[in-house]
Amino acid sequence: MKHFRLIALALLILGPLGANADVIWNEAVDGDLDGSFPGSDVGTLGGGIWDIIGSLDAGSGAPDTHDVILFTATDTWTLSLIDLTLGTATGWVVFLFDNSGGGFIDSANLVAPTDDVFGLVAAGIYSLNFTPIGNTGTLDYVARIEVPEPGTLALLGIGLAGMGFARRKKTG
């Protein structure tokens, strides 16, 4: 019984780590992200990891000088950049806006990929705006929006509660 509990605990802890990313938008396939507000709507992002693959060219006469991504998150979420190639740019800025009426929330300068551009933001409707510093240069990026799996979190809680109950019953 002791080994069974250890295996169950390991599965509960490691289970959420196996989540795969789904590409929700790829500019090479789905078209250029709209450079105006409210932006290109990539849909409602529930539990899971969602990748947005984008590219910007803000050289002279470029068709888009920024990408605006509109999405709805059903739970708290985080944004990270898992791939970022600055090309000829000196840097880029990503802005976060609350489209539910809250307006501007935060911004971050991008010079390298980062695991936590915006961490633990509440559920709601948002826009991410990628824009160049100095209005010139190129940028390739993969923006990752991660929303916790509610089912996995519930399963983890039930498993831990069950283990606590089993322990209490054994000592009682």
Residue 34 CA to residue 99 CA, distance in Å, equals: 16
| pLDDT at residue 107 tops 80 | yes
Edge to edge, the sheet with strand 40-45 lists 40-45, 67-73, 124-132, 92-98, 103-110
Mean pLDDT for the chain overall: 82
One-letter amino acid for residue 172 of the chain: G
- Say which range, 10-14, 120-124, 143-147, has the weakest mean pLDDT: 10-14
One-letter amino acid for residue 18 of the chain: G
Confidence of residue 58 (pLDDT cuts 50, 70, 90): confident
Mean pLDDT value across residues 121-149:
89
Edge to edge, the sheet with strand 77-85 lists 21-26, 48-57, 138-147, 77-85, 118-121
Confidence of residue 82 (pLDDT cuts 50, 70, 90): very high
The burial of 152, by beta-carbon neighbours within 10 Å (0-12 exposed, 13-18 middle, 19 or more buried), is given as middle
Query: SS3 for 31?
Result: coil
What residues have CB less than 8 Å from 116, skipping those under 6 apart?
78, 79, 80
Q: Which H/E stretch holds residue 153?
A: helix 150-171
Residue 89 CA to residue 144 CA, distance in Å, equals: 21
pLDDT of residue 111: 83
